[in-house]
Structure 1
Amino acid sequence: MSKRPPLKSSVLLGVAKVLPRCRWCYCSPAKFSNGFISLVLNGSKGSFTLVSQQNWPQVHGVPAIQGQLKSVDEDFFVDEIAAEKPSGEGKFLWLQVEKKSTNTDWMIREIAKTIEAKPEQIGYAGLKDRHAVTRQWISLPGFFERKLEQQDHVAGFKILQRERSKQPLKPGMLKGNRFEIRIRQLSAAEGQPELTQNEIEQQLNQKLQKIAAEGFANYFTEQRFGYENIAVAKDFLEKDKPVAQSKQGFYFSVARSLIFNDYLAQRIQRQNWNQCIEADLLLEHETGKQKFAPEIARFAATVAKGKLSPSGPMYGKGEPRAGGQAYSLEKQVISLHSDLAVGLISYGLKMKRRSLRIFAQALSWRFEENDLLLQFELPAGCYATALIRELVDYRSASQQPNDRLASN
């Protein structure tokens, strides 16, 4: 375990540049009601409400339909889209594996145990959910191949392909994921009027058409936050409570994801999550390139077409590069997480950007009796459940407290 590095004066100065002082934000004390935080900033900047995690707003309206997600693992199928294919030769062995009812971390430990390797010798591009059927590539040094010759199936997963490559897999070497999802037991949501099957299908068809055309909010969802991940991240970064070094990166991500989601929620409340505002920092969907937008008129049409989208902070050291109205809102959100922000900077995390809006590729759907079947692709780091929460108020039959490392 490693403790937080001591803060240097230059780091503290960097925080001061981003975090507004109380006299800047005119903040009044936080008010707590029914477990939801409502912090209002008064003054010339206007009112500002921090939305709770349980109530981050949808962009296509609150769902009037509910459904069951992951009744069985086969209801949630994920096929990893690798950023590159194995070269066919080299000193590393790539394996395409299919797993069920296990997360990537557990699978890697089991493979390491089977071939007498260290878990850190096994590479992967992305983590996959436990409660699903998933396919992904992993890599290991080629000299372990002989030990794997008789191992096509180990409890919880099986090996589908074996290929040689010149380099190992590393986190981030991932283009995206392909999803096939079944949502069962569709009905009117609690408190909503009863709906016939035809009415349910009509409402979902309309929403799916809007999602296909306009995209949806690029939230981090429960796979990132779990039951207690936010609390652990706050204890780690705000109170310096020890966390195993192997888990620190995950809790950095939890903290940054919380700040990002709160910023996205503010943009949705202002109805400009998919529009260019003054001095926005935009991201190009195809390339990921950043574009500063000092003039709204210059970029408004390109944003409306979905080629560019506004971005939000994945907080860390460095200037946000957004300005004007966009930067002002970022500072307000970050100020509400000032202890987390200081912790992230003290560990040397660098500022990154994430698109507020995402589009599902190859989106298709059909109905089977009382179920909705979805097929679509998302870029790496985007969550299928962020799309699903726009459609239905869902309950996951398999959500467990120990799923903290799961990611779709």
Structure 2
Amino acid sequence: MSDAALDAIDWPPAWPRVLDPEFGPPTPGDYRASPEDFRVDEVLDFVPEGEGEHLWLFIEKRDQTTAMAARELARLCGASPREVGYAGMKDRVAVTRQWLSVQLPGREAPEGLAEALGERGIRVLDQGRHPRKLKRGVHRANRFRLRITGAAVGDPALEVRWARLVEQGVANVFGPQRFGPGGRNLLRARALLARGWRKRDDRDGMLLSAARSFLFNEGLAERIRDGSWHRLLPGEVAILDGTASQFTVELPDAELEARAARLDLHPSGVLWGVGDSVAVGEARAREARLPERYPGLCGGLERAGVRLARRALRLRLAEPELATGEDELWLSFTLPRGAFATGVLRELIAHPTL
């Protein structure tokens, strides 16, 4: 499959689900009929220190992106958008809670800031001063609470599928929102990488991220198809659950296989870029197929200077809960930063956007 074949892909692509070989495809269902059906709480391991030139605000927003809320905060504070920080991008069609920061050196926040934000659908729940700007990726996790409706709610197989995900984990797929409607972000990334990536054309790195995410999903899809997405291959780079610690497994032994079965550690895939992979043997040979299939994307990322990184192929569902009601079902779970709740939903219900 060449890079040109991207034009023929229907979006979202038919990447395989891990549960289908055992249970068949899921029953159709609905989610996110309203923002209140999709709730996300950002989890930080620290709080503002109480002093410093940055004002941190813990906000609740409804039906707007993090970037929209950040721009509004900058405008009301008379600050540059570059002086506003946040740890992660949260969904638009949702009710989400997260921290934002704005740099206010030597001055107080504008009078009535919380009220002005409230008029724009951004509720301030807490605030405090801190010496530093809030940086991307410093949050530990996100807590999700999702409402499912439709035919899937009455299908007993949904709860069986959920129990299996809790037991064996879920594939750490990048969700379709990463690629934009109809895969637009990926197609724009391909065009930009072909002519040479420049920061001024992709200031937030969104297009670079779309290309890397697609390549990761392609590698993960191959592992799902052959059933090795949750097992350690010879030469695998294992990632310890809940951490960034990783090590190369030249040959899995019984102890490592048992730890993988307990979800203590996970196999990993490559986020393409410049640098030498620490995978060896069979695992490295699999990674080498990506530039063979997508030379334009892989070569463009290397020329852009993106550093090679790794991402776990599997996730543990932390604090899982399932509650049933009349014609509805609520799921609650915590995922590490960078993980997509839609990756969980696609294993449980059939929906055109998943």
- Structure 1 length-normalised TM: 0.79
Alpha-carbon offset, residue 29 of structure 1:
8.0
- Residues 89-100 of structure 1 aligned to structure 2 (within 5 Å): 89-100=51-62
The count of aligned residue pairs is 345
Larger Rg: 1
Q: SS where residue 162 of structure 1 aligns?
A: strand
Task: Determine the structure 2 residue equivalent to 1:270.
Answer: 226
State yes or no: 1:382 paired with 2:339: yes
Give the secondary-structure state (helix, strand or coil) at the position aligned to 1:113: helix
Give 3-state SS (helix, strand or coil) of 2:203's partner: helix
Of 222, 232, 237, the match for 1:281: 237
Letter in 2 for 1:217: A
Distance 1:324 1:131, change over 3 A: same
Structure 2 distance, partners of 1:29, 1:71, is 37
Two-structure CA RMSD over aligned residues (Å): 2.4
Equivalent residues of 2:79, 2:103 under 8 A apart: no
- Residue 180 of structure 2 corresponds to 226
Q: Structure 1 residue 241: deviation in Å?
A: 7.6
What is the distance in 1 between the residues matched to 2:306 and 2:4?
Answer: 31
Cross-structure match for 1:211: 165
Superposition map of 1:28-47 within 5 A: 35-36=8-9
Q: 1:395 to 1:133 in 2, by over 3 A?
A: farther
What is residue 191 of structure 1 aligned with on the other side? none
Q: In structure 2, how many angstroms separate the alpha carbons of the residues matched to 1:90 and 1:176?
A: 25
Partner residue of 1:236? 192
> In the alignment, which residue of structure 1 is the partner of 2:39?
77
Tell me the distance in 2 between the aligned counterparts of 1:279 and 1:30: 28
Does residue 146 (structure 1) correspond to residue 109 (structure 2)? The answer is yes
Q: How does 1:193-204 map to 2 (within 5 A)?
A: 197=154, 200=155, 202-204=156-158
Task: Give the superposition deviation at 1:242.
Answer: 6.8
Structure 1 distance, partners of 2:220, 2:260, is 16
Q: Distance in 1 between matches of 2:95 and 2:12?
A: 28
Residue ranges of structure 1 left out of the alignment (5+ in a row): 1-27, 38-51, 189-196, 400-408
Pair 150,103 (structure 1): closer, same or farther in 2 beyond 3 Å: closer
- In the TM superposition, residue 148 of structure 1 has moved relative to its aligned partner by 4.8
In structure 2, C-alpha distance between the alignment counterparts of 1:308 and 1:182, rounded to whole Å: 30
**1:278-305: CA deviation from partner (whole Å, max 9, x where unpaired):** 1111101132211100112262222122
Which residue of the partner structure matches residue 303 of structure 1?
A: 260
1:56 corresponds in structure 2 to 15
Q: Which amino acid aligns with 2:18?
A: V
Match of 1:291 among 247, 268, 273: 247
Q: Which letter maps to 2:185?
A: N
1:18-76 C-alpha deviation (Å, 9 max, x unpaired):
xxxxxxxxxx9899799459xxxxxxxxxxxxxx9511001111533111111111000
Q: Is the 8 A contact 2:3 2:294 kept in 1?
A: no
1:362 corresponds to which of 309, 312, 319: 319
CA distance in 1, matches of 2:253, 2:4: 39
On the 8 A contact 1:236/1:243 being kept in 2, the answer is: no
Measured in 2, the distance between the counterparts of 1:240 and 1:163 equals 42
CA 1:29–1:133: 2 relative to 1, 3 Å:
closer
Partners of 2:76 and 2:7 lie apart in 1 by 49
- The answer on 1:170 being equivalent to 2:124 is no
Distance 2:3 2:89 in 1: 36
Paired residues for 1:3-22 under 5 Å: none
**What is the CA distance between 1:215 and its match in structure 2?**
0.3
Identity value in percent: 32
CA distance in 2, matches of 1:129, 1:233: 21
The equivalences for 1:84-123 within 5 A come to 84-123=46-85
Structure 2: any 5+ residue segments left out of the alignment?
none
